[in-house]
Amino acid sequence: MVIADFLEKNARIRPDEVSLVEINPALQPDHTVTWREYNLIESASGGKFRREITWREFDRQANRFANLLLTRGIQKGDKVAILLMNCLEWLPIYFGILKTGALAVPMNFRYTAEEIEYCLNLSDARTLVLGPEFVGRVEQVHKRLNIFHYFYVGDDTPCFADNYERFITYCSTTAPAVELLDGDDAAIYFSSGTTGFPKAILHSHAALVSACLTEQHHHGQTKDDVFLCIPPLYHTGAKMHWFGSLMTGGRAVLLRGVRPDWVLQAVSDEKATIVWLLVPWVQDILDSLERGDVRLSDYQLGQWRLMHVGAQPVPPSLITRWLSVFPRQQYDTNYGLSESIGPGCVHLGVENIHKVGAIGKAGYLWETRIVDEQMNDVPAGVVGELAVRGPGVMKCYYHNAQATEEVLKGDWLCTGDMARYDMDGFIYLVDRKKDVIISGGENLYPVQIEDFLRANPRIKDVAVIGMADERLGEIAAAIIEVKPGETLTETEVEEFCLDLPRYKRPRRIIFASVPRNPTGKIEKPKLREQYGAGHLVEKQSTK
């Protein structure tokens, strides 16, 4: 069985039921627009507030794109990259790629031009599907790429691309006759280590199918559930949580925006029953309610049965606070990584609310161990590295055998997360082996930020560490050692960092010496011990 079989089944048995809805609250609403209408009918603001497609149209659009790719010479095993914001086209494009036997390569919409170039070349992508937000970045590098075909989703098509909507119109809605096996390669997702250089994670169709089974088993989706999806679809978390809806034929709503009133309005209007949130969004909703910016009485939320959180450590106090506001809801925590096809390899379970703070136990179809450096199991209460085994473990890091060997020990995937069991077998995260900072569900890579800051002529040395933050989980803190005889202020550092993407900018600036060991490595454990629990920001260095 391959993942596209679920889509084709839904198109066959519930063709006229709505599969996907896209809502963009930033645009002035007009009226509900179907797939056939959306390119012809626009709101007064020039955008589309709400669009929807049925399962039949979803499958037809996937088939059209698959057939278009085949006319351009795409073959089984080729790679087709997706660089889009969440939109109604995203998932039909993804499944169209899979139906050709090619590999889908979703890309982070926050990538810089340099990162786009690196990831496209690393993955051997031949085709790129992009949206209007990325034209400028792609134009900077497209002459250096090995991309043969560009498809553009939107208006004002750039000169180097073909318009997606115009070209698929003439393609067949019949599924292409391509034999797909569950062991075939299906997708490449990107991760990154402490160096900040992305690694390409190769997954099979069997891994994607296993994500459907795990997700549906954990959260009990039925065709009557409505899943509100807010995180980006390039991320395994968002897509693999949606796979529960795909498996059962339930409706999903793609919300483009995270304002608390937008989230609650979408839950109310679309009758959402399941919502996956990140810690900052939970915090924002609760804070808005406490300030009176939004009122629960303005929304119909009685059908909302499950809120679950993942992608970063979850403060137990935050969930206690949430359940005091939404006492009838179930809550769940999900743990995973892109190398394990996203969330679910460890799972708390709604029945284990008394264990909030733990990430849970091995998920459905998964096994876990906590091991020492020699892969020996450690006793309960002893900290070791979390290792997982299951049908969603990656095949390898594409084009990186050394990195693959470092994390795959036989059938076991070493996660790089340090953890411990309690006496009941529940797993608690303690720390990460890697220096990656998880801020608001996004990975920040200290070396990238350090290298950027070192370009400042007044900076002698710099180290970036994670600092605890109630809303984002962690923030990046830069410990900066100023050159002798120079001065530097926090404001000047912030201005220097304006060339960094916003999410990569340090949120705390500390002027201090940067300790290094005899081999020249920064002693980050010492810095974490000194500053990690919180530190008052120093506004200006001394000479």
Instruction: List the pLDDT tens digit at each of the 543 positions of the chain.
Output: 899 999 999 999 999 999 999 999 988 554 444 444 333 333 333 456 899 999 999 999 999 999 999 999 999 999 999 999 999 999 999 999 999 999 999 999 988 899 999 999 999 999 999 999 999 999 999 899 999 999 999 999 999 999 999 999 999 999 999 999 999 999 999 985 434 578 999 999 999 999 999 999 999 999 999 999 999 999 888 899 999 999 999 999 999 999 999 999 999 999 999 999 987 788 889 989 988 999 999 999 999 999 998 766 677 878 888 999 999 999 999 999 999 999 999 999 999 999 998 999 999 999 999 999 999 999 999 988 999 999 999 999 999 999 999 999 999 999 988 889 999 999 998 766 667 788 887 777 777 788 789 889 898 889 999 998 888 888 999 999 998 889 999 999 999 999 898 888 999 999 999 887 644 567 787 888 888 644 433 433 333
What is the C-alpha separation between 391 and 215, in angstroms, rounded?
13
Cβ atoms within 10 Å, residue 184: 17
Say what the pLDDT of residue 291 is: 87
Report the alpha-carbon distance of residue 331 to residue 333 in Å, rounded: 7
Q: Residue 142's CB: how many other CB atoms inside 10 A? A: 20
Q: Rounded CA gap, 338 and 441, in Å?
A: 13
Where b means 16+ CB within 10 Å and e means fewer, 253-277 reads bbbbebbbbbbbbbbbebbbbbbbb
CA distances, 414 to each of 83, 212, 401 (Å): 29, 23, 15
Beta carbons of 469 and 227 less than 8 angstroms apart: no
Cα–Cα dist 450/448, whole Å: 5
User: Residue 368: what residue type?
Assistant: T
Alpha-carbon radius of gyration of the chain: 23
Three-class secondary structure of residue 367 per DSSP: strand
The pLDDT score that the predictor gives to residue 439 is 84
What's the confidence (pLDDT) of residue 325?
Answer: 96
Overall residue count recorded for the chain in this entry: 543
Q: Which two tokens stand for residue 295?
A: 């009122």
What secondary structure does DSSP assign to 80-133, as a single string?
EEEE--S-TTHHHHHHHHHHTTPEEEE--TT--HHHHHHHHHHTTEEEEEE-GG
Check the CA dihedral 335-211-101-61 and report its sign. negative
Closest by alpha carbon to 95, among 67, 73, 133? 67
Q: d(Cα 302, Cα 281) in Å, to the nearest integer? A: 20
Beta bridge partners of 418: 385, 431
Residues 6 or more apart in contact with residue 455 via CB below 8 angstroms: none
Comparing CA positions, the residue from 287, 266, 344, 288 lying closest to residue 311 is 344
Secondary structure of residue 434 in the 3-state scheme = coil
Query: Is the whole model's pTM more than 0.85, yes or no?
Result: no
Domains of the chain, with CATH numbers? 4-257 (3.40.50.12780), 308-432 (2.30.38.10), 437-531 (3.30.300.30)
pLDDT of residue 523: 79
Residue 280, number of CB atoms within 10 A of its CB = 18
What's the confidence (pLDDT) of residue 192?
A: 58
Would you state the pLDDT for residue 178? 96
What is the phi-psi region of residue 423: left when phi exceeds 0, alpha when psi lies from -120 to 50, beta otherwise?
Answer: alpha
Tell me the C-alpha distance between 301 and 304, whole Å. 5
Report the pLDDT value the prediction gives residue 28, as an integer from 0 to 100.
Answer: 55
Question: What pLDDT was estimated at residue 91?
Answer: 98
Cα–Cα distance, 117 to 319 (Å, whole number): 40
| Residue 48 pLDDT | 61
Reference 474, options 428, 438, 524, 434; nearest CA is: 438
E strand or H helix at 148: none
Strand order in the sheet with 185-192: 162-163, 149-152, 125-130, 79-83, 103-106, 185-192, 198-204, 396-398
Which of 267, 266, 220, 228 is closest to 244 using CA atoms? 220
